[in-house]
Structure 1
């Protein structure tokens, strides 16, 4: 009885074994298409995040100097340089975190973690962009722009290495990155930056950053692991306090700007400067709805995906533009 199985195997027709061998799927070699590596590099630079760099027009728009041909060309250049710096940070960050990202349920699909972009290539392209962008800024723009780009790169790389593990400092670093985006357009055009502009922009950025952290903490509550290491150390109550405080300061600073006449004669029939407070406050309150629900994880998706918020934003943009033109 014990020899029945071997006998059965030897009695099996050889043709059957041959057919099975020919049917056995052969492992396919990795894709060598030319676009694969380039596509992976592009995905690693987070094209969806490029919308944040539109903040480079904030200071010129606030000063009413946005629509000249020289200003538009300079701002397009600054946008491209800042995008290159941000791309360098993303590439270096993903190369550094490749091993950790492979163990994450979502981040393992990133091109570097998935092996589509080799780690040395990510380091090399990121390093090249980090060197070229400030160098081009020295040659093509003002020295202050190159200095700000260099400071941004240094701060963000320090964040990737260690600062993202320091409570509160991580929020300050990300917020400062947004503030630098808003400042660099003014530096490129030589526009003085007002205190109200800096306060409103800085605390508005802190509002969105802390609301994003709060949403991530709410969504990851009760699960094993967290998207960010610090989420296990922050409490949802603390993050709620931060975004509520930041929203209040941003609204207050904007209202003080709107109510400050500064002795400038106004020729418009309606006080657009004061009226612009209404859509601004409504926009903050509308965004706070998503923050309170814990669904403000991706600010660009909230802003672009909610129709009511988009309409409020357009109304504010129109009133603000009229206020600046009248100013």
Structure 2
């Protein structure tokens, strides 16, 4: 009986994509850089924001899969998604959206200051799923905006000032990751429709620009936003990670198609992120 329950639940787990929730850790950025992670009140409020964005992102993924199930069923990889493969009916998927929406509403009532960013995140994503994802350049800009909304929500929930340079870093950093995915997908025959409006040259150019601006923005933040003269050396970890990801994009594009998996698959990239985190924690919390 337990096996039956597990097999019945697994498609729903795949549908809500919990491995994508790693993106929602950005909500902790304001409290982390404000040296407030060890404050139980601030941490608990940020945790609520994190859970809210996890539910909201899962709602959006489910909604998008309902809209695209016919197109996904013809895709060599996406055809295995729960709705496209008929493991989950559209009716049950809509019911899941309803329950996710109830959970979001309840959590937002606990942290009412995040109503606007959560509302913008869900509403823009709905328009994105219907039409905006088919408009070249606008599609990648909007995805970057979703990352920024996470940081803003984290700041609003804790009443912590969010540095403009952090916003700029996240904007260009997320653009770099998104363009890396688009560049990897562009080489495939079965690709999303909007990629027909991109050229490989344009993607390469935008990828290089976003990587450069992400490094520059982080470098400026490291010398202007903290009184420690040692923060600038954390740029080394950032540059290494970006260059390593760039190398994957051009040598193993199929790996760059899933950056959230690539980070854990490449031990050097994972090591650079962990080293950066330890170094920043040491500077902000222990020195």
**TM-score by shorter chain over 0.5:** yes
**Partner Cα distance (2:270, 2:108) in 1:** 37
8 Å CA contact 1:179, 1:205 repeated in 2:
no
In structure 1, the residue matched to 2:243 is 285
**Partner Cα distance (1:238, 1:78) in 2:** 36
How many residue pairs align between the two structures? 283
1:105 aligns with 2:73: no
1:77 aligns with 2:35: no
8 Å CA contact 1:214, 1:236 repeated in 2:
yes
**Partner Cα distance (1:227, 1:261) in 2:** 41
Deviations 1:84-103 (A, max 9, x none): 01111111111111122112
1:164 aligns with 2:124: no
Q: TM-score, normalised by structure 2?
A: 0.92
**Any gaps of 5 or more consecutive residues in structure 1?**
1-32
**Partner Cα distance (2:261, 2:76) in 1:** 21
Larger Rg: 1
Shift in Å, 1:256: 1.0
**Partner Cα distance (1:272, 1:42) in 2:** 43
**Any gaps of 5 or more consecutive residues in structure 2?**
none
**Partner Cα distance (2:5, 2:225) in 1:** 59
In structure 1, the residue matched to 2:175 is 206
Question: Which of residues 9, 19, 26 in structure 2 aligns to 1:38?
Answer: 9
Shift in Å, 1:181: 2.1
8 Å CA contact 2:136, 2:195 repeated in 1:
no
In structure 1, the residue matched to 2:263 is 303
8 Å CA contact 1:272, 1:320 repeated in 2:
no
Give the secondary-structure state (helix, strand or coil) at the position aligned to 2:268: helix
Greater fraction of residues in helix? 2
**Partner Cα distance (1:92, 1:289) in 2:** 34
Question: Which of residues 114, 121, 124 in structure 1 aligns to 2:92?
Answer: 121
8 Å CA contact 1:258, 1:274 repeated in 2:
yes
In structure 2, the residue matched to 1:48 is 19
Q: TM-score, normalised by structure 1?
A: 0.81
In structure 2, the residue matched to 1:238 is 202
CA RMSD for the aligned pairs?
A: 2.0
In structure 2, the residue matched to 1:27 is none
Shift in Å, 1:246: 0.9
1:252 aligns with 2:210: no
**Partner Cα distance (2:184, 2:29) in 1:** 27
In structure 2, the residue matched to 1:316 is 276
8 Å CA contact 2:31, 2:43 repeated in 1:
no
**Partner Cα distance (1:257, 1:316) in 2:** 15
Shift in Å, 1:311: 1.5
**Partner Cα distance (1:179, 1:230) in 2:** 23
**Partner Cα distance (1:36, 1:306) in 2:** 31
Deviations 1:260-312 (A, max 9, x none): 277x4x5xxxx321211211211211111112222311111111111111121
8 Å CA contact 2:56, 2:101 repeated in 1:
yes
In structure 2, the residue matched to 1:147 is 116
Give the secondary-structure state (helix, strand or coil) at the position aligned to 2:256: coil
Shift in Å, 1:116: 1.3
Change (3 A) 1:80 1:233: same
Change (3 A) 1:315 1:97: same
Shift in Å, 1:136: 1.9
In structure 2, the residue matched to 1:191 is 160
Question: Which of residues 52, 66, 73 in structure 2 aligns to 1:95?
Answer: 66
8 Å CA contact 2:183, 2:204 repeated in 1:
yes
Give the secondary-structure state (helix, strand or coil) at the position aligned to 2:184: helix
